[in-house]
Amino acid sequence: MTTASSKGQRISLSASAIGRVNDILRGPVIDIFLEHVPAFRRLTREQAFDIIMNNPVLTDECLKLFRKKPQLFDNILVDARGRPVGGEDQTLACGRSLADVVALIVRAVAKRHFHARLAPTRPIAATPSLWRRLIARLRRSPVPRLRRKATRADSLYRALREFLLYEWQLPLIPHYVPLPVSVVRRLGPRILEYRQPQQLKTLLLEGLPPEDENDDSASAAIIGETGDAPRPARPGVNAEAMWKASQTLGLGRLFDIDENEMRRTIAHVSAVSGRTLAALAAAGLKMRETVVVLCTVDRLLGHTRMAELFGAAAGAEFLSEITALFRREGVAAMRDPANIREATQKIFTEMRKSGLVP
């Protein structure tokens, strides 16, 4: 089972785990809002829950109240032994971390909103005649269950699901609705780079930037098996953006390599899989942190091992473990590239000791 906080990008919660989380949200959590939000005081638990979950902006306000007054939730933010839990990634009594619960809420709100906004119009069914009703009763034949066709709401939700992780996305949910599903699929984890409504509006009006239109996979370079210089990279936002970031951050100086070797390194790290980029995004890493981390790994382990760990065959368990370690070390909050490199080296030293990296 995987989680957003400690098991990479994908969250796979069992039915029992979802049930426990839902029971707490619909019960003790809603009770707190009923007591402390005057507008909810005349509502039942179920009414308040539905009103909150059906409105992304209201859900966001409720989470802001939670962040502003965490003391109201002290009895809920405890582990299985009743001890206070302060970290986003620590396991709560329900068996999930706070980061998991937030992601579950964001996904549930998005799914409701997509289906409400994109609900297909249903044709009015003609009333069968008396004779037809009588014949149907006499035949006593079972009514076949019609398989529901996937709607645009379903397709949009599936395209976004693994990237619906953070509470800052709640105000963006209405702005995800008009986006073409094809654009969302092309963006993949890069949808997390769009953090403002205006950015999504521009994306809707203008479409993907020209460089993205030419980027048909997460790879932006073809790696030569012989170790020679890689063949020219396909035009794509990943390789170009990573190169620019490496220049801005002065990574050539940081790793003490010349421009040609820096270009080789960027060509290799830009060929990581979409799953890898999603895992790093789940750990909160943006472009600058991602470039430093991947370059560090490439310089530390070499091109071949880098491709094995982070390429198309990247293992889910490995990515889950490394995502948890990046979160623990707080890499996403680091500003100095040297600190990011040092933290990455520390993480890989630990993973080698544990046998996750031979």
Residue-wise pLDDT tens digits, 268-282: 888 888 888 888 888
The mean pLDDT of 5-19, rounded to a whole number, is: 49
pLDDT of residue 107: 94
Query: 305: pLDDT confidence band, cut at 50, 70 and 90?
Result: confident
pLDDT digits (tens, 9 = 90+) for 102-128: 889 999 999 999 999 987 655 545 555
Residue 173 — very low, low, confident or very high, per pLDDT cuts 50/70/90? very high
Mean pLDDT across the stretch 43-57? 92
Answer yes or no: is pLDDT of 82 > 80: yes
Kindly report the number of other CB atoms within 10 A of residue 202's CB atom.
13
List the chain domain ranges: 1-119+153-208, 237-353
> Of 249, 240, 291, which Cα lies nearest the Cα of 269?
291
146 — pLDDT class (breaks 50, 70, 90): low
Is residue 234 scored above 70 in pLDDT?
Answer: no
pLDDT bin (cut points 50, 70, 90) of residue 222 is very low
d(CA 190, CA 209): 13
Rounded CA gap, 81 and 259, in Å?
A: 55
Single-letter amino acid, residue 294: L
Rounded Cα gap, residues 296 and 290, in angstroms: 10
Please state the separation of Cα 132 from the chain's center in Å. 51
Question: Measuring CA to CA, which residue among 317, 243, 328, 312 is closest to residue 277?
Answer: 312
Contact partners, residue 274, CB within 8 Å, separation at least 6: 188, 189, 217, 218
Residue 293 has pLDDT above 70, yes or no: yes
The pair of structure tokens assigned to 277 is: 């980029």
Q: What is the mean pLDDT of residues 302-318?
A: 82
8 A C-beta contact, residue 199 and residue 81 = no
- Per the CB < 8 A criterion, the answer to whether 145 and 188 are in contact is no
SS3 154: helix
Q: Give me the pLDDT at residue 16, please.
A: 64
User: How confident is the model at residue 254, as a pLDDT?
Assistant: 93
The answer, yes or no, to whether residue 214 has pLDDT greater than 50, is no
> Which residues, in sequence order, are CB contacts of 262 under 8 Å at separation 6+?
246, 251, 252, 255
